[in-house]
Structure 1
Amino acid sequence: MSFDRGASSGRGPLHGVRVVELAGLAPAPFGCMILADLGADVVLVDRPGGTGPAGPLQRGRRLVTLDLKSDEGRAGLLGLIAKADVLVEGYRPGVAERLGFGPAECEKINLRLVYARMTGWGQDGPLARAAGHDIDYIAISGALEPLGRPGERPHAPINLLGDFAGGGMLLAVGILSALLERAGSGRGQVVDAAMVDGSSLLMTFLHGFLADGRWPGGRGRNVLDGGAPFYDTYEASDGGYLAVGSLEPQFYAALLKGLELDAEADLPGQFDVKGWPELRRRFTERFRTRTRDEWAAIFAPLDACVSPVLSLTEAPAHPHNRARNAFVEVDGVTQPAPAPRFARTPPGIPAPLRSATVPEILTSWT
């Protein structure tokens, strides 16, 4: 697979960037996967027996096994850090310092090092050393409360908002920003990436709505949270689902045409909130008259913003995803391809996790 639109190296735009990743859970590995996908040379450092089966989040790395509680293990790590551009750690605040490779120690051997820290609560604050998971971070940031149906409890959207979007993705953005700044200053810095901060940042759009009076509140009662019948999901006759996002008038008109409701004069207006229950009833009844794929075929030529809801196994086979090579196979596992795409320096297909030694890494980094 190639994303080439012209002459390319095939090595990705981050080729030449050296990253040391201390093994951790989902957020930091996802951020480092992004860096590896884009061409960075990422070395994953794990304790003996600590990795288990390699998965998609570990793709594109070389694996070095070190006991960081031993003098020999710490010496090996510090040797890598001395030649690295980036160090990524996801320990609780103070753990890296206690083990002997905190920011102050690393700065002494590599003034240019970007020291990236991935935590749930951040490096300071009352909760900094508390335990937590994605659902806790998005609860405190305000990202969880709006999610769900009216009268029901908030519904966690898997662990996407905290771990990945607000965590690993913002970690990668922070690292890239620090590398860009270093090009001018010549110095690295500490990046404090916290999932509570990142998931809060994701809610900026809704804070704007709230300030403008366009988010009256009440879970599942607003335009973008399933409250509007023209921005929701509907069940088809075969148990499949359709996603409807017909916000603008022209898309809404196409929705009514596809549903054959455009000629019904007694249909409530699109933004007649009092009429939304009736609209939803009619949409629900109509969608249940055909299968998901039959509706997908009906709406294919219409610009109505109506799409079939695909499963994880169905998505790679969708014609659009296939045309864009949006999925690749790595070590026998089908998974999303690197993103975004680059015209001159596209990344190649990620390699599976592979073992190496500290001397091998250092030799390749000379």
Structure 2
Amino acid sequence: MSATVAERSFTGPLAGLKVIEIGSIGPGPYCAMLLADLGADVIRIDRTSGAALVGPNADFRTEVMHRGRQSVAVDLKNPRGREVVLDLVAGADVLIEGFRPGVTERLGIGPEACAAINPRLVYGRMTGYGQDGPMAQAVGHDINYIAQSGVLALLGRNGQAPTPPLSLAGDFGGGGAVLALGIVAAVWEAQRSGLGQVIDAAMVDGSALLAAAFHGFVSAGTWDTERGTNIVDSGAPFYDAYETADARWLAVGALEAHFYADLLEILELDPAALPDQDDRSQWPGMKKTFADVVRTRTRDEWIERAAGRGCISAVLDVEESWTDPHNVARGTFVDVAGVTQPSPQPRFSRTPAYVDSAPPAPGENTRDALDGWGIPTQKIDEWEAAGAIAQTTPTPREPTQEGSAAR
């Protein structure tokens, strides 16, 4: 079923949590999306003019990471813009910002100014290099942060350049997801202490944390720092992707002995004719043998042969993943206003999470959102007259389609 905003206020494990997101790009919106997906009431503070998207999208209404929340357009450089944010802070549980260190302080909405109004506020700060240290004021992108943390050096095939893993390790995993965890933890603690706190989340630190196991392996001397030579970095012949006869791909994961035995049986390879599975000196030759065999059948022919085994999967294109029977049965993806996107995760037995609305245009919800947070109409009128806020006119769009609940 689809859910209205009113219905959603009673669903999701974070229902009742009130969050202010100071508009940014990358990890900040991702963090806010995670919280909104799980039921939090999130207001996004956008610019009154000049708001822009980074990446291939040109329409805010297709920016999936902005889903599930309302947009209020505020001019933070207007003397009364600060007043707008601080009035919202008085009734908020969380504030998220992604400026360089010191910027919100200069705008008058830094941690001290907010804590003076609401001591229980959890103030989440998202940066690349952190709030202190020699590089705190440096600018960068995902690739720079994961380079700094040692993660990028681990990614890629042997003899080739390091391969950026989209923006997954820095922006989203090491950035937004880590900040979301920190926020939930700080909110939990504030329920006992009655006090909020400042969260310093840096993508260098968070991406290092994502790679905790591999830092540990290197430290223990059990991981070859020459990338593409280890068991799960494309070095092992039994853990890699192989091209099929129809120019599609198979994902092979056969680490354990019984999976490896299944793999050889599926490929019709004689174990006695192959080197030992763990003989790394023979891995390049074994990989060529596997590749030659995999190219003799189509992807779907291999999947049929491997049915019931756990060592081979089809590498699905993004569009294929949307219609895969298992993903459809699980509701892994949802269509919201014509945009296919992942559904909220994880799944909760009593408090299901929903995507209740498509992403807003900047300032689309200014007056309604402020009113919904208890701001008096007279004050809203004054702010609008002073140019501190702006209300945009929504562009008609298709209604949200059903199927948005994560089951």
TM-score (normalizing by structure 2): 0.85
1:93 corresponding residue in structure 2: 101
| Contact 2:173–2:206 (8 Å) recurs in 1 | yes
Aligned positions of 1:77-156 closer than 5 A: 77-156=85-164
State the match for 1:188 in structure 2: 196
- Distance, in Å, in 2 between the alignment partners of 1:103 and 1:314 is 45
| Structure 2 gap segments, 5+ residues each | 3-7, 53-58, 376-407
SS at 1:145 equivalent: helix
Q: What is the CA deviation profile of residues 53-98 of structure 1, one whole-angstrom value per residue up to 9, with x for unaligned ones?
A: 2310000011101101002222111111111100000001111000
**1:112 partner amino acid:** R
Find the partner of 1:282 among 276, 289, 295: 289
Q: Tell me whether 1:255 sits opposite 2:282 in the alignment.
A: no
1:364 CA displacement: 4.1
Which residue in 2 is equivalent to 1:5? Answer: none
Query: For structure 1, which segment, 148-157 or 176-185, has the greater mean C-alpha deviation from structure 2 after superposition?
Result: 148-157
Root mean square deviation, CA, Å? 1.7
Pick from 78, 92, 95 the counterpart of residue 70 of structure 1.
78
For residues 282 and 150 of structure 2, what CA distance do their matches in structure 1 show? 30
Q: Which runs of 4+ in 1 moved over 4 A?
A: none
Correspondences of 1:288-307 after superposition (within 5 Å): 288-303=295-310, 305-307=311-313
1:1-366 to 2 correspondences below 5 Å = 11-49=11-49, 50=51, 53-54=60-61, 55-261=63-269, 263=270, 265-303=272-310, 305-354=311-360, 355-357=364-366, 360-365=369-374
* Distance (whole Å) between structure 1 residues aligned to residue 237 and residue 12 of structure 2: 43
Q: 1:92 to 1:358 in 2, by over 3 A?
A: farther
Counting matched residue pairs gives: 359
Letter aligned with residue 95 of structure 2: L
SS at match of 2:70: strand
Aligned position for 2:388? none
Distance 1:122 1:83 in 2: 27
Q: What is the CA-CA distance between 1:111 and the residue it aligns to?
A: 0.5
TM-superposed CA distance for 1:140, in Å, is: 0.7
SS across alignment from 1:71:
coil
C-alpha contact (below 8 Å) 2:70/2:369 kept by paired residues: no
Aligned-pair identity in percent equals: 52
Can you list the C-alpha shifts for 1:310-333, whole angstroms capped at 9, x where unaligned? 111111111111110000011210
After superposition, the C-alpha distances for 1:320-366 in whole angstroms (9 at most, x for unaligned) are 11110000011210000000110110112331134323574344458
For residues 264-306 of structure 1, give each alpha carbon's deviation from its aligned partner in whole angstroms, at most 9, with x where no partner exists.
5211121122221221111001100111122122212223x21
Q: Which residue identity is paired with 2:168?
A: L
SS in 1 for 2:242: strand
Superposition deviation, residue 250 in structure 1: 0.8
In structure 2, distance between residues paired with 1:119 and 1:43:
20
Distance 1:172 1:21 in 2: 12
Which is worse superposed, 292-301 or 77-86? 292-301
User: Contact 1:9 / 1:345 at 8 angstroms: preserved in 2?
Assistant: no
**Matches of 1:192 and 1:36, distance apart in 2:** 21
Q: For residue 20 of structure 1, give the secondary structure of its aligned residue in structure 2.
A: strand
CA contact (8 A) 2:152 2:162 kept: yes
How many Å separate the matches in 2 of 1:81 and 1:331?
A: 31
TM-score by length of 1: 0.94
Contact 1:268 1:278 in 2 (8 A): no
Q: Which moved more, 1:9-18 or 1:199-208?
A: 9-18
Alpha-carbon distance in 1 for matches of 2:373, 2:111: 25
Query: Hey, what's the Cα distance between the residues in 1 that align with 2:223 and 2:69?
Result: 44
